[in-house]
């Protein structure tokens, strides 16, 4: 059985994230969605516990996916869960450059960990959690970008009609 990790801040989880996790779950025997507790250079809307709960509810239909939190290097998280593969999503060229840099560093730190990148589905090519939060802050409609429970959580957290 091949074990994969899909790490990220997931602040909040979006339909794009769910799409990548769903596709990874079809290929790998076990997928750990790793919610990074303390991402650098990010202003978080949700606490770690809230992000985990939103992700668990969003991915509950996937029996071989487990949502957990982690701290520190992603490769250390991979070692802790005995992962063979790291899953990443690619939306555009800029994503490729950043993911390529991270893949090369991770290869130096953990040579046996392979990276598998999924191209974002066409309807999610533009979607990021940061952009989603901007739209929500300006009371734009986000209902088609996240599951209903995530949209509700964003409304409650921000007090905005998004």
Q: Just list the catalytic residues.
A: 17, 42, 91, 129
Which segments of the chain does DSSP mark as H helices, in order? 15-27, 48-59, 74-80, 93-109, 129-137, 148-158
Separation of alpha carbons 135 and 138, rounded Å = 5
Q: What is the DSSP string of 8-47?
A: E--TT--HHHHHHHHHHHHHSSEEEEEEESS-TT---SS-
């Amino acid at each position: 059985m091949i074990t994969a990790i899909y790490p990220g801040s997931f602040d909040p989880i979006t339909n794009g994230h769910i799409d990548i996790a769903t596709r990874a779950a079809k290929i790998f025997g076990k997928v750990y969605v790793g919610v990074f507790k303390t991402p650098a250079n990010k202003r978080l809307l949700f606490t770690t516990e809230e992000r985990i709960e939103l992700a668990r509810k969003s991915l509950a239909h996937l029996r071989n996916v487990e949502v957990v939190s982690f701290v520190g290097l992603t490769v250390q998280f991979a070692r802790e869960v005995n992962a063979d593969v790291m899953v990443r999503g690619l939306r555009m060229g800029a994503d490729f450059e950043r993911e390529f840099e991270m893949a090369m560093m991770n290869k130096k730190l953990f040579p046996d960990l392979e990276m598998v990148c999924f191209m974002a589905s066409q309807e999610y090519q533009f979607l990021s959690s940061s952009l989603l939060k901007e739209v929500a802050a300006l009371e734009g409609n986000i209902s088609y970008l996240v599951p209903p429970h995530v949209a509700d959580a964003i409304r409650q957290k921000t007090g905005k009609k998004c």
